[in-house]
Amino acid sequence: MSRLNAWIQERIPVHGDQLRELTNEPVPNHLKRWWFALGGTPAYLFVVQVVTGILLAFYYQSSPSAAWESVRYITEDARYGWYIRSLHKWAATLMIASVILHQMRVYFTAAYRRPRELNWVIGMCLLMCTLLTGFTGYSLVFEQLSYWGATVAANISDAVPVIGSFGKQMLLAGDTYNERTLPRFYILHAAVLPTTIILLMAVHITFIRLHGVTELHFEDESPDEPDHFNFFPDHLLTELTIGLVLMILLSALATVLPATMGPRANPLVTPEVIKPEWFFYVSFRWLKLFSLSVAVISTGFIIAAMFVWPWIDRLLIRLTRNEDASVYVGIVATFLLIGLTVWEAVVTH
Amino acid sequence: MQEPSGDIRGERTDAVESRPDGSESRRGFLEHAAGVTMAGGLTAGYGMLVSHAVRFLYPSETDPGSWQFVCTLDDLQPGDSMPFTTPAGAKLVVARQAEDPAQDDAFIALSSVCPHLGCKVHWEANNERFFCPCHNGAFDAQGNPIAGPPKAAGQSLTRFPLRIEGNLLMVWVPGTGISEVISETNA
Ligand code: HEM
Ligand code: FES
């Protein structure tokens, strides 16, 4: 045994102590609450997406004449295909939901403030990539709503000033949805965006290690208890527990509410009721409220403001002399987000 | 981590610092120039690759479109309209609004593609309007917007160019779309 150890030590000259030092960031106690450890959830779900996504790619075909049929094959004929596809779909839903919740907790605890502004910006890039991945993934099924959703989205891009028409051409590979469009969505969904997400996550987590997570203190914490615990093994165990619970949840959702097939894309008929995926309900409702240019420019403005929020926040504090000004903005934004989403969900048109 | 021992790697010598005779600045300049040239070459080289990649990804010119035969002038009496489907699957409505074919707007051809975000509109006979289900847009029989985002933005249904050649009505239709590919398998 010791000879084996020595053999390994000689070839991989890393010491247990070094490993421990590398992983053993002391973690503040509040991360024992799930609400504060939410950042790990999208990371875990991302791994689920990579695994199930690779499995689906064994059968998926990205040509418009074969795409819908290949998804139908996965769903109805391939053994456990329905399970793999449903896992992929539900993990996508939960991933987007947990990114949003994670961002809300960062926002409401003002954890983006100096010196963590850049990590907020990286986080915004992660949010954008995650939403884009969701959008391109939905397009791959090539059912009616996939097709018309993509058409509408490309034309929204067209309305963006200056770069919009370039963006539309790059997305659709032409003026309209054509036979070269779907392969684009596929390569974006399965290669370009996931790689980008992995790189961004690496930077995101490096920043967290460099700064440590924001220290928060709560009244119910007694002052004589230690206020930190070890990342390894304590926090890792927390994350593993969350991972197991998620896996059970995903399996249950996939079994009870499996992914289904809508009618195949038909470019000649727009369905009577057209809706995007739930995470775009907000922007869909917004589009119906205003003319296109107003909707597009205001959306662009809101996203830009979200990106530079840490600096807007500083300005707000200086102007209002109130440390918590951002909380009020956040509450209004949250109500707007929920309100518009629910509104779009309950009406047909 | 161990420092590599000097006898394997060789000692590091900082030659520049130890020149007392003025060749230092000449050498510094040369090194600087070499560095700039190197960076310039790399930027130009990889820049070229990026530019080629973007142009590769940007869609190349496709079939721009053509004039298509719709009907003879006698087939369409004033007040009548008829549907027309292009080879690429675009649906149009062609209508005759005046007796005299030479008159402006005697014939109009309206696209069924909503000018808002590209969904297909359909004619609602009971409301006498074209309706777009995507964001509740509506248009009158002439294609003028009467409700929804198209109204807010003042966007009418696109009119296709028409041309009369002798007794034949011709319409200009844009190039191929996806429906040809799909209709082969959409049985
Ligand atoms: C793929 C998506 C994402 C992953 C995997 C991820 C992962 C993580 C993890 C593991 C943490 C450690 C703290 C915690 O668990 O709460 C964290 C913190 C952080 N995240 Fe994310 N995150 C993602 C998206 C976002 C988004 C959308 C934002 C905001 C725009 C964001 C901003 C931040 C910031 C500023 C911190 C530091 C918080 C602190 O110091 O307390 N992240 N992230
Ligand atoms: S696409 Fe017709 S109203 Fe929006």
Q: What is the ipTM of this complex?
A: 0.72
How many Å apart are CA A179 and CA B26, to the nearest integer? 60
Q: Name the more confident of A315 and B181.
A: A315
- Contact status, residue B95 vs residue B107, Cβ threshold 8 Å: yes
Rounded distance from Cα B18 to ligand 2 centre (Å): 74
The answer to the question of residue A343 being in a domain is no
Q: Name the more confident of B165 and A268.
A: B165
Report CA-CA distances (Å) from A105 to A108, A121, A211, A332. Answer: 5, 15, 18, 15
Backbone angles phi, psi at A84, to 5 degrees: -60, -45
Task: Find the radius of gyration of the CA atoms of chain A.
Answer: 23
- Contact status, residue B84 vs residue B93, Cβ threshold 8 Å: yes
The model carries a pTM of 0.79
The answer to the question of residue A142 being in a domain is yes
Please count the structural domains in chain A. Answer: 1
pLDDT confidence band for B63 (50 / 70 / 90): low
* Residue A192: domain span: 31-213+230-270
Across chain B, mean pLDDT equals 78
Ligand number with the minimum distance to the CA of B112: 2
The answer to the question of residue A333 being in a domain is no
CA nearest to B149, candidates B110, B122, B111, B119: B119
Side-chain-side CA neighbours of residue A211 (13 Å): 18
pLDDT for residue A228? 78
CATH of the domain at A258: 1.20.810.10
- Contact status, residue B110 vs residue B128, Cβ threshold 8 Å: no
Residue of B122, B134, B151 to mutate, testing the A interface (most A Cβ within 10 Å of its Cβ):
B134
Which of A13-27, B32-46, B63-77 comes out lowest in average pLDDT?
A13-27
Mean pLDDT across A237-248: 89
Residue B11 CB neighbour total at 10 angstroms? 6
Q: Is A217 on the interface with B (CB under 8 A)?
A: no
DSSP for A229-244 reads: EEIIIIIHHHHHHHHH
A167 burial (CB, 10 Å; 0-12 / 13-18 / 19+) is: middle
Out of B57, B153, B178, whose CB is closest to A170? Answer: B57
Chain A residue numbers touching B186 (CB-CB < 8 A): 264, 266
The answer to the question of residue A163 being in a domain is yes
How many Å apart are CA A142 and CA B182, to the nearest integer? 11
Beta bridge partners of B69: B170
3-state DSSP call for residue B177?
coil
The answer to the question of residue A131 being in a domain is yes
Report CA-CA distances (Å) from B147 to A84, A188, A271. Answer: 44, 36, 19
The answer to the question of residue A297 being in a domain is no
Which of A142-151, A153-162, A240-249, B92-101 comes out lowest in average pLDDT?
B92-101
List the residue whose alpha carbon is closest to atom 1 of ligand 2.
B117
Q: Does any ligand 1 atom lie closer than 6 A to the CB of residue A132?
A: no
Cis peptide before A115 (omega within 30 of 0): yes
Residue A78 has pLDDT above 60, yes or no: yes
- Contact status, residue B73 vs residue B169, Cβ threshold 8 Å: yes
Which CATH number is correct for B66-177, 2.40.30.160, 2.102.10.10, 1.10.3720.10, 1.20.58.220?
Answer: 2.102.10.10
Closest Cα in chain A, distance from residue B91 (Å): 7
Out of A154, A180, A288, whose CB is closest to B149? Answer: A288
Atom of ligand 2 nearest to the CA of B148: 3
How many Å apart are CA A48 and CA A181, to the nearest integer? 27
The answer to the question of residue A188 being in a domain is yes
Closest Cα in chain A, distance from residue B1 (Å): 9
Domain ranges, ordered by start, for chain B: 1-60, 66-177
Ligand number with the minimum distance to the CA of B155: 2
Query: What confidence tens digit (pLDDT) does each residue in A34-55 have?
Result: 777 788 899 999 999 999 999 9
Rounded distance from Cα B67 to ligand 2 centre (Å): 27
Atom of ligand 1 nearest to the CA of A200: 1
Backbone angles phi, psi at A230, to 5 degrees: -85, 145
pLDDT for residue A256? 96
- Contact status, residue B115 vs residue B150, Cβ threshold 8 Å: yes
Report CA-CA distances (Å) from A345 to A159, A274, A326, A339, B89. Answer: 25, 11, 28, 10, 32
Mean pLDDT across A121-140: 96
Residue A232 CB neighbour total at 10 angstroms? 14
pLDDT confidence band for B185 (50 / 70 / 90): very low
Backbone angles phi, psi at A93, to 5 degrees: -60, -50
List the residue whose alpha carbon is closest to atom 4 of ligand 2.
B135
The answer to the question of residue A307 being in a domain is no
Closest Cα in chain A, distance from residue B90 (Å): 7
B149: its two tokens: 């985002």
